[in-house]
Chains A and B, each alone.
Chain A
Amino acid sequence: MKDTVSITGAAHTDRIHDSASKHVTGAADYTDDIAMPEGALHAYLGVSDVAHAKLRGIDYTNVLATPGVVGVLTADDVPGVNDISPTGLNDEPVFPTDLIQFHGQPLFAVIAETREIARHAAEKAKIDCEVLPHALDPIAALNAGYPHVTAPLKLERGDVDPALDAAPNRVKGRMAVGGQDHMYLEGHIAFAIPGEDDDVIVNCSTQHPSEAQHMVAHVLGVPSNAVVVNVRRMGGGFGGKESQMNLFCAVAAIAAKKWNRAVKIRPDRDQDMTATGKRHDFVIDYDVAFDDAGRIQAVDGSFVARCGFSADLSGPVTDRALFHADNAYFYPNVRLNSHPMKTNTVSNTAFRGFGGPQGVIVAERMIEEIAYATGQDPLDVRKANFYGCEGRNLTPYHQEVEDNILDRLIGELEETSAYRQRRADIIAFNKTSPVLKKGIALTPVKFGISFTATWYNQAGALVHVYNDGSIHLNHGGTEMGQGLNTKVAQVVAEAFQVDFERIKITKTTTEKVPNTSATAASSGTDLNGMAALNAVEQIKERLTAFACETWNVAPEEVRFHANQVHIGKDTLSFDAFIKQAYLARVQLSAAGFYKTPKIHWDRAKGQGRPFYYYAYGAACSEVTIDTLTGEYRVERTDILHDVGRSLNPVLDKGQVEGAFIQGMGWLTTEELWWDDAGRLRTHAPSTYKIPLASDRPRVFNVNLADWSENRELTIKRSKAVGEPPFMLGISVFEALSMAVASVADYSECPRLDAPATPERVLMAVARLQGTV
């Protein structure tokens, strides 16, 4: 019999974001929208105005004399350990006691009746310090003999130096790759409510509630079981709320316990941008050897990163830069070194791609260098160097690439974007256009999926079925706009075969699922979807056993389908069946768990299988530049991206589009600029320019590779989507590079650092024209 009815919100169907109606009406609650309890107080951070100094003391007289100020929170008030370093390196105090390490470093917090009072009063402290010399950028730090903030990594395979020396062609170059501010629309915020005993509840905007919980317990000197962290949703995260919420949670919680009143802390946008970390900027030296056909023979790369004053997540971030320094290309001999430099700047952190993009862009730069050196279309050089079969499928970290689909994917995109014809047309156009010049580039991405910290690859979920048949879903992941809750609910709906609307999606809380990992590394759906499915399967197993016993049928005769349960010849509604199961005392709740199989990583050896699988994609972008001003416009972008068998194609497409634009912003207009004193001068949207609607490609064709299926047993054979498409923005950068190169008839690969602001484009043009 053919099933003619189906459920709403099944897996692999388009489904609107579960909060969409609340978003558009303003009814979706973010942390700052939660009603404050009676007597709540507000905290605001006081910060340093020098980049590096011995801290001698702070005079709070004028702060405390301000009407409405309740008190000041200092390092002395930290009852537990004055440390919020996510790595346990103990290098990041809540407030420093003797050393200021960057301009804008939080030194204390003012607690007051209103946020405005606290904010004004925070300006009134007198900070006594002895200024020390500072190093802001990673090269300056290297030259000044600054240490690494965390252990560097080396990946090596083959005989690099002989291969470099023996090759017929060799290019060395240096590229500076800029950082990026997250510019989530909702800034950091935490709101703590004290409870009895050691208890405290912290509502905050975080991708990592468990870490916030552990960190609050750590600074309070209480066990983790005293602390509850809640997050219903974030107004964007992008990695910026993976560890950076620790400070705000700590301050709110300590103050709440100290004064026994609820305390909220919400920095202004400028303080959010100056006091919290960003994407790491890198200076990368590459040395690449290749044959006359453009096939790479050896690569030597050195990745120097601005990490800021503490390690934070710089270890795994700089590791991932190396993991992706091959992008999609086989390097027969390779040596890659990271240099995670300490600098007197804010401590850099996770950001979508987590170091990966900085690795990928250098791989693409090397391809461009080879293309110019050998006079080829860069796409041909790319194809010649893709990972292949046996003998050409080993990464620099000794993982075999088993699931490469780039040949097909690139082939299709090359066709649908009419890349070859358009490139020929562009070269012709450039010959006759005196001022405007065009460029086109088709670039791939291969991105490894899994946390490289192997233990992070676990997740939990809690599913309750109530006796009216309604379902309560909770899992350890957090919702920041990516549609995680929608996708996990689809998995649950599909597994129970009930309508999506029956499932209540609830806030993420450390009370329900303990020891969760950050919602990061694109892993949210992979991990939490599996954990939720595991919980559902447990309940279904009990239900099936109950049905078999009661109806006296075999397990194969129990079938959940379209809000009904078929048992032998009987059919019951899901509700009626659940009611019966309840009356028969079947446990209708389960905690699910999942851990990613197959992965292992030996960092000391630089060998292993850190990634469960790879996600792939490619983009073809065309740009026009104005060679008088350096201004540009993206004319067209075509994307074909691999998300395996999509759980929700429309949400995945939204991730691809958004990631591309964010990646484009990273490489074009988003520039972080520090002055000589170490003060970040691009500190708010007035000065830090993320893409606008009018910056979108004039033609934007985005498609999912609907034929792709994850060859690993991931949730419904889907693939992670959060980060990989971010790197599709590199196509815009390389298209800009081609347009620049046209002014010298493509005779050399332009020196172009990222972001390619109009200024950088014009100066690259002028260099090739010999006018500067």
Chain B
Amino acid sequence: MTYRRDIRFILNGTDVSVADVAASQTLLDFLRLERRLTGTKEGCAEGDCGACTVLVGRLGSAGLVYEPVNACIRFLASVNGCHVVTVEHLSGPNGRLHPVQEAMVDHHGSQCGFCTPGFVMSLYALWMQTPEPTVGEVETALQGNLCRCTGYEPIIKAAVAVSRYGTPASDCLTTERDTMTARLKSLQDTQRIVSGPEDNLSIIPADVDDLADCLLTYPDATIVAGATDVGLWVTKFLRNIGPAIFTGHLNELKTVKRQDSLLKIGAGASYTDCQSLLSKHLPHLVPYWDRIAGWQVRNMGTVGGNIANGSPIGDTPPVLIALGAEITLRRGDTRRTLPLQDYFIDYGKQDRAPGEFVESIQVPLPGPNDLDAAYKISKRRDEDISSVAVGIHMSVTDGVISNTRIAFGGMAATPKRATAAEAALNGQRWTRDSFEAAADALAEDFSPLTDWRASSEYRMLSAQNLLRRFFLEQDAQTDAPVQLAIA
């Protein structure tokens, strides 16, 4: 078989072809060091500060979609076939400022200016999607951008005002949409790409079947979907991730659809990809979902990746386990399906064989007698890793609790069911006392760790209190709010 060796994409207006792209080569270093596009900054190299925000446009099932992403942890190989837009692309002819830039200048949205290009790019993406955003929508869009100088107030004011400076209809990404779509289509081919040096290979499979083949050839390869975790293996832990197999371009893995009483999530679907169907079928997850990382990471990171890497503090496993989700793994042409909770064996150990990959996640949708909740506690409300996260599911029929599934993150070495607490609830009446008993039983379920996110005592007490919150929130007797509103 012959493979292509170069990565092809469009950078601002220019066609780019880069031969021999090592798996660990980041988009940010390429922009800054090879292209001297120094407007994009490195603030943290871990996808948390947003100073490196660029837009990546790719052809998905809904056509050409631009999303803000973190160039610092985005691998260059993964932008094959994409349109990469940096801050340098925004100003018009003769250096005329873009509406987003004008609004930022007029509202004094920059002080030291180092975070500013990243903010401009996030606000640019927001304006194209939601030209007249509410303050809440701006805050959600800016969860992945840190500013240390302004205190954000002027940036929010600028963001809300952008539409007064121009409309997306006249923006170049809109006016050139058709030609850009055609240019990107012309970059697509059905060839596998194998690029980079032997000890740091980038492999871009042609389709999902080819992915299965690649994994048979390279069973221990690093699978890179959104790179929001693997990116840090490179930038922080200096690990060699080669050979790496990139999957972010595989639209077949990105499908999110309802199938009868299930929501089927392709392993490659990003958090953002899931959003619209979640709000339709699992509305209790919507506020929780908005607290997963920042916008850039939600655009890159995938549910499949969040599960596959087995972190004890991943955001999605607890809430998906509580819902009774199953995952399907594939190796070659062989598939197997198992309950999600069984996938997590021990810290750093998952039930995934060499050559196998997570293909999809099936989430049963709650029935009319079911009560569901998802809670997350973190030091900072947004864009923080949870100290404790929990998914709670139960049926209540004639005042009696059954089918309880409570799964916690942050309480053990893996995402884990609270079996003692569940047992304390099943068959009991819906009363405060039942939940007090469940809270007590949690002490049998877990002996959480103390670390920099939270102490053991806090984890236990707040986990118990989250059960109490669930009762109060669902209970008809309570009329006062028992949780801080998001807005």
Contact = CB atoms under 8 A, between A and B. Distances in A.
18 contacts: A120-B238, A183-B146, A184-B148, A235-B41, A435-B469, A436-B484, A481-B113, A481-B149, A654-B111, A654-B154, A657-B154, A681-B451, A684-B46, A690-B146, A692-B381, A693-B142, A693-B145, A696-B151
A19 B109 CA distance: 12
B110 A629 contact: no
B185 interface: no
Interface in A683-722: 684-687, 689-696, 698, 700, 702
Interface string A544-555: 000000000000
Interface residues of A, number: 91
Interface string A18-32: 011111111111101
Interface in B402-439: none
Interface string A179-218: 0001111110000000000000000000000000000000
Given A120-B238, A236-B149, A657-B153, A29 B43 contact: no
Contacts of B379: 669, 671, 689, 757-759
Given A481-B113, A681-B451, A17 B380 contact: no
Contact of B469 (A26, A432, A629, A633): A629
Given A185-B147, A686-B48, A20 B112 contact: no
B51 A435 contact: no
B108 A631 contact: no
A347 to B, nearest CB: 21
B111 A628 contact: no
A685 B46 contact: yes
B236 A185 contact: no
A657 B48 contact: no
A455 to B, nearest CB: 28
A763 interface: yes
B47 to A, nearest CB: 8
Nearest to A663: B151
Nearest to A624: B484
Interface in A449-502: 480-483
A619 B395 CA distance: 48
A662 interface: yes
Contacts of B94: none
A662 B151 contact: yes
A434 interface: yes
A38 interface: no
A755 to B, nearest CB: 9
Contacts of B110: 17, 19-20, 23-24, 481
B149 to A, nearest CB: 5
B40 interface: yes
A630 interface: yes
B104 A24 contact: yes
B484 A20 contact: no
Contact of A686 (B109, B111, B152, B385): B385
Interface of B: 29, 32, 36-46, 48-49, 51, 86-88, 90-91, 95, 97, 100-101, 104-106, 108-117, 120, 138-140, 142-143, 145-156, 232, 235-236, 238, 377-385, 387, 451-455, 457-458, 461-462, 465-466, 468-469, 472, 478, 480-484, 487
Contacts of B46: 269, 684-686
Given A183-B148, A669-B379, 20 more contacts: A16-B108, A20-B104, A24-B116, A25-B90, A123-B238, A185-B148, A233-B113, A269-B45, A658-B151, A662-B148, A673-B451, A684-B48, A685-B46, A686-B232, A692-B146, A692-B383, A693-B138, A762-B458, A762-B462, A772-B457
A744 interface: no
Contacts of B472: 434-435
B151 A27 contact: no
B116 A23 contact: yes
A651 interface: yes
A22 B46 CA distance: 25
B76 to A, nearest CB: 14
B469 A628 contact: yes
A24 B462 contact: no
Interface in A1-57: 16-17, 19-30, 32-33, 35
What 3 A-B pairs come out closest when comparing CB atoms? A26-B39, A235-B114, A481-B112
A235 B112 contact: yes
A557 interface: no
Interface in A630-667: 630-633, 650-651, 654, 657-662
B108 A17 contact: yes
A685 B49 contact: yes
Contact of B44 (A433, A685, A762, A766): A685
Interface string A219-255: 0000000000000011111100000000000000000
A628 B482 contact: yes
Contacts of A269: 43-46
A626 B484 contact: yes
A758 B377 contact: yes
A742 interface: no
Contacts of A661: 151-152
Nearest to B72: A269
B99 to A, nearest CB: 11
A25 B451 CA distance: 41
A270 interface: yes
Nearest to A660: B151
B481 A20 contact: no
A268 interface: yes
Given A662-B151, A685-B49, A686-B385, A22 B113 contact: yes
A693 B90 contact: no
Nearest to A122: B238
A24 B111 contact: no
Contacts of A23: 104, 110, 113, 116-117
A435 B482 contact: yes
A280 interface: no
A729 B29 CA distance: 38
B147 A695 contact: no
A119 interface: yes
Given A235-B41, A766-B461, A696 B156 contact: yes
Of the candidates B37, B150, B155, B232, the one having the most CB atoms from chain A within 10 angstroms of its own CB is B150
B48 A24 contact: no
A682 interface: yes
A759 B455 contact: yes
